[in-house]
Structure 1
Amino acid sequence: MTTPVLEVRDLVKRYGPTTVLDGVGLSVAEHQVVTLIGASGSGKSTLLRCVDLLEEIDDGQVLLDGIDVSDPREDAAAAQRRMAIVFQAFNLFPHMTAAQNVALAPRVVHGVPAGEAQERARDLLTRVGLADLADAHPDRLSGGQQQRVAIARALAVRPRLLLLDEITSALDPELVGEVLTIVRELAVGGVTILMATHEMGFARQVSDRVCFLDGGRVLESGPPDQVLGEPEHERTRQFLARVIAAGRLG
């Protein structure tokens, strides 16, 4: 049996007396897209941050290619170099051009020579449709363009696993489509992705599996047509009914 790229086992995360993740388990196979859905506060973003080792976990395991990278004896920094995360906020350095932002981590963190890092950055900016804006600073870019730069920056380190945390939530509605198009192309291209999104129609199109989180637990998990079309759990049906009412099922 092939080892999953990512396996989360019985993960628990608490903030003081509040349990945010309560025994979460899931796996992501190579070239799969697994999507986390659920109401705000259900634990999606916290789960992504725990996977990327940005948060210490209270119990459970995070395995990357079969190795428990959440074990304090493991090199967390080395594990983080094999993953990349894109947040709602773009977090671009304002004094750097788009190409410089994308080239920074390969050059500084991964030791890629400056010339090679710049070439890789420009190739990736071309891939996300921003070749003509490679030398532009962030204040010259729209929100959608900045988020595409952030995606290119994540891809620049050639991650084993790409984590996407509600990457369209901060965008105006007319800019959402251009970012989702890029993610759709990445999924078709075989990038292994764990993402959280409120865009249910998009989740249905690109996901291999959908996990519905509620109260810090995976309440339902399965193929997108099943979870989003014929959910088994009443709580999932209630959530999707609210999503439909808000016009986000798509």
Structure 2
Amino acid sequence: MALLRCRGLRKVFGGQVVLDQLDLTVAEHEVVALIGASGSGKSTLLRCVNLLDDLDDGTIELDGEEISAPGVDPDRVRRRIGLVFQAYNLFPHLSVLDNVTLAPRRVHGRSRAQAEAHARELLDRVGLGDRAGAYPDRLSGGQQQRVAIVRALANNPRLLLLDEVTSALDPELVGEVLALIRDLKADGTTMVLATHEMTFARDVADQVCFLDGGRVIETGAPQQLFGAPTQPRTRQFLARIIEAGRL
């Protein structure tokens, strides 16, 4: 059974169709990369899966439960989904440790000792164990983004959504965040990531989905989609990416 299944998703903002009968299926332990031009619907899809935006039509299932059904408690659903934005969104008045442990303590009811032990383990793993007491403004962009990912992981999510998590970083800081995502894939973390990093999507994803106009135009293994795309719109998009030296 698929971990995540989206069927016929439709979302309209101000008369503009942002998601147009979009379908997506993600298996457990799979990494799915969403690619496409800005405005193609990638970020909106992630926000809808996390129930931050309401659908106009369609259904979303997580572990076989229709989480988009009326009456479903979005806070209960979000306990099983981690979402990391392109902006780090760390609380500036809290230390790294307090940022990471806030939700486990306040939402999941873990003791401070349990939450902090788990947080320190995760921070050690991403090379930030010595920064637990630091505040966000004392960290580099790459460090802040790694903390944001750790904060999402601290809740032990079934599904991790990553929305252009390297787009706000200086080029030399991108590598450390991508290395963390590679490690998460090796651990079997189920992820859906919207990205403009085409080479990374090709190397790390199990499945790549090309979005255009709010639809999934083409889906395939990275070698197939990047090497021999079947749809003309996909070929046109990738030709521009190659011309720009990004693949």
TM-score above 0.5: yes
Match of 2:98 among 91, 97, 100: 100
Shift of 1:74: 1.9
Match of 1:55 in 2: 53
C-alpha deviations, 1:140-195, integer Å up to 9, x for none?
A: 10000000000000000000000000000000000000000000100111000011
1:5 matched to which residue of 2? 3
CA distance, structure 1, for counterparts of residue 194 and residue 92 of structure 2: 26
Distance 1:30 1:24 in 2: 20
**TM-score between both structures, scaled by the size of structure 1:** 0.97
Stretch of structure 1 that moved more, 34-43 or 94-103:
94-103
How far 1:73 moved relative to its partner? 2.3
2:69 is matched with which residue?
A: 71
Superposition deviation, residue 28 in structure 1: 0.7
Match of 1:166 among 154, 164, 167: 164
Secondary structure, aligned partner of 1:145: helix
Secondary structure of the structure 2 residue equivalent to 1:154? helix
TM-score normalized with structure 2 length: 0.98
Quote the Cα distance in structure 1 between the aligned partners of 2:67 and 2:203.
31
CA distance in 2, matches of 1:104, 1:97: 10
SS in 1 for 2:17: strand
1:55 CA displacement: 0.2
Structure 2 distance, partners of 1:229, 1:96, is 46
Please tell me the root mean square deviation across aligned C-alpha atoms, in Å: 0.8
Q: Percent identity of the aligned residues?
A: 63
> Given residue 118 of structure 1, which amino acid in structure 2 is its aligned partner?
E
Pairwise CA distance, 1:246: 2.4
Cα-to-partner distance string for 1:17-64 (whole Å, 9 max, x where unaligned)? 110000010111110001100000000000000000000000000100
Give the equivalent residue in structure 1 for 2:39. 41
Moved >4 Å (runs of 4+): none
| Residue equivalent to 1:136 | 134
User: What's the counterpart of residue 234 of structure 2?
Assistant: 236
Structure 1 position 16, deviation (Å): 2.5
**Equivalent-residue separation in structure 2 for 1:211 and 1:53 (angstroms):** 21
Q: Does 1:26 align with 2:24?
A: yes
Give 1:77 deviation, angstroms. Answer: 1.5
Which residue in the other structure is 1:183 paired with? 181
SS for the counterpart of 1:221 is: strand
CA distance in 1, matches of 2:2, 2:14: 32
Gaps of 5+ in 2: none
SS of the residue 1:62 aligns to: strand
Letter in 2 for 1:36: L
Q: Indicate the SS of the match to 2:113.
A: helix
